[in-house]
Structure 1
Amino acid sequence: MKVICAGLSKTGTKTLQAALKEIGYNVYDHLENCLYLNKEWTKIITEGGTTEDFRRMFENVDAVTDIPGCYFWDEIHKAFPEAKIILTMRDDEDTWARSMYNQVAAANNPQIQILYMLSPTLKQARAWSDKVVMAVFGTKLKESFFGPATFNMLLARMTYRRHNAHVLQNAPKDKLLIYNIKEGWEPLCKFLEVDVPSVPFPCKNVRGKVVEDFLKEDPLAIRAKKEMLVSITLLALLFSFGAYKFSRSWSSKWFFNTSSSVWHSFSSFRNKFC
């Protein structure tokens, strides 16, 4: 582990991830932690963890960004004391809160909701993310088909204040960079002691665009869409089979009732005139 990015979500974590990848680092963001370290993080959140747990989890990773890694920056640093720490921050708390609100609104996407219901993989990922968000912010993102998503911004703001204060007070000053992504390559590369890449500095997840990007190109979303098609096909087959059985049952019942009625009428006629 070379770099621990301690900035909370919506402080430029996706942009920083892209920048570190451009430099050549293997970066675990929120999604990678979910896909590859799901069980380990679940244990840490529900039962607790040790320094050895974090060392084992990130021994082959160069950098970690976003939740849950940023929230457990201190524990990860104990496992990798030589790692540098980057605290990404917005201009002020209100700017961060507006960005968080935009992310919440973007997440309330009907296509995402349908994928959650019909993709086992994405359903499991969502359950894990809900646990992580609750552990970090003390509240849960509530999405809805029929109204706006909700998120307790009071608790989120309090987490933002406490978290930043904790990093500023306790991170080793000689290993800490307080960074705003608006500053671009120069301070980041100087801190990491690497050459400035020849490409423009990345800009990711503007106004919650990460959800749109996820649906278009992320391997997890592609897998989820395939699972959704399988689920829809199975549901259609089950519905067709059920409809067929019902129609057969109804037809048989109608035939039986009609036959019985005819036979009853014939028997009455026969008994009356014979």
Structure 2
Amino acid sequence: MTVKVIGAGFGRTGTLSLKLALEELDCGPCFHMFELAAQRSHLNQWESALKDETADWDRVFQGYQSTVDFPACVYYAELIEKYPEAKVILTTRESENWHQSAINTILTIRPSLRQLIKVLACYPFSTEARKTYRFAIHNRALIENKVFGGKISDKAHVIKVYEAHQQAVKNTVPRDRLLVYDVRDGWDPLCKFLGVSVPSTPFPSTNDRGDFKKVTRDLFFSF
């Protein structure tokens, strides 16, 4: 099994809906941030990638046929070289709408350093507590610092980074491998791009802000 589809879009562009759609189209399992959050396996590989070291992508994606969302979307350029036969999907959303969603979820709903330290202090012998701490620190370093340069409160800057990433993907990925995709367009463009039949079921729609808050609360504060 190898990676057939690479999602290059940032979180909050319909990536969870795309994950569910790809899995319905037999392009799954699909790796999403929620997989890393739930399993917290291969953190060493993601930490190595963040340090500009070589990650063992085959190990990271073992058992997966596709990937979407953070953290993998940050490494789309490396992944398209590693998996030259994989198709690339750039999920997109109008910049202002994306920012409004992101600032109310992925950019702000996370434990503070004080809360993370408290988890470690309360559960000093818990392997899960240590993994949760590492996972949260990695995400903070990747999304807040590497991607957005530590300026997540600067709206103009965040939108500029988002738009620059979108353009970079379009400039980097060969056109015959790339689908620029709004999940509101449903099955037709996705299925045409992948060369598969359109399912009879409705296109997946999930992960609103309430869902995200619940997942985050369960993830970090369920000890």
TM-score normalised by structure 2 residue count: 0.81
| Residue among 166, 169, 186 paired with 2:168 | 166
Partner of residue 78, structure 1:
81
Q: Deviations over 1:110-169 (max 9, x none)?
A: 9xx58973561432321121122122222277xxxxxxxxx4433322221211111111
Partner of residue 126, structure 2:
none
Please give the secondary structure, in 1, of the residue aligned with 2:199: coil
Query: How many angstroms does 1:106 deviate by?
Result: 7.1
Change (3 A) 1:22 1:188: same
Change (3 A) 1:102 1:208: farther
**RMSD of aligned residue pairs (Cα, Å):** 2.7
Between the two structures, name the one with larger relative contact order (CA 8 Å, sep ≥ 6): 2
The within-5 A match list for 1:55-74 is: 55-74=58-77
Query: How many angstroms does 1:208 deviate by?
Result: 5.2
Partner of residue 107, structure 1:
109
Partner of residue 43, structure 2:
38
Please give the secondary structure, in 1, of the residue aligned with 2:180: strand
Please give the secondary structure, in 2, of the residue aligned with 1:72: helix
Please give the secondary structure, in 1, of the residue aligned with 2:73: coil
Give the letter for the 1:37 counterpart.
H
TM-score normalised by structure 1 residue count: 0.67
Partner of residue 139, structure 2:
129
Partner of residue 248, structure 1:
none
Which one is further off, 99-108 or 19-28? 99-108
The within-5 A match list for 1:209-220 is: 209-213=211-215, 215=217
Q: Compare CA radii of gyration and give the structure with the larger one.
A: 1
Give the letter for the 2:72 counterpart.
G
Change (3 A) 1:15 1:140: farther
| Residue among 92, 95, 99 paired with 1:93 | 95
Q: Percent identity?
A: 30
Are residue 2 (structure 1) and residue 9 (structure 2) matched? no
Unaligned runs of 5+ in 2: 124-128
Alignment size in residue pairs: 207
Q: Distance in 2 between matches of 1:68 and 1:116?
A: 25
Contact 1:28 1:61 in 2 (8 A): yes
Change (3 A) 1:156 1:198: same
Query: How many angstroms does 1:56 deviate by?
Result: 4.3
Please give the secondary structure, in 2, of the residue aligned with 1:36: coil
Which one is further off, 95-104 or 114-123? 114-123
Partner of residue 238, structure 1:
none
Change (3 A) 1:76 1:107: same
Give the letter for the 1:45 counterpart.
L
Give the letter for the 1:136 counterpart.
V
Query: How many angstroms does 1:55 deviate by?
Result: 4.0
Change (3 A) 1:214 1:196: farther
Partner of residue 158, structure 2:
156
Partner of residue 178, structure 1:
180
Which one is further off, 28-37 or 68-77? 28-37
Give the helix-richer structure, 1 or 2: 1
Are residue 138 (structure 1) and residue 154 (structure 2) matched? no
Unaligned runs of 5+ in 1: 142-150, 229-274
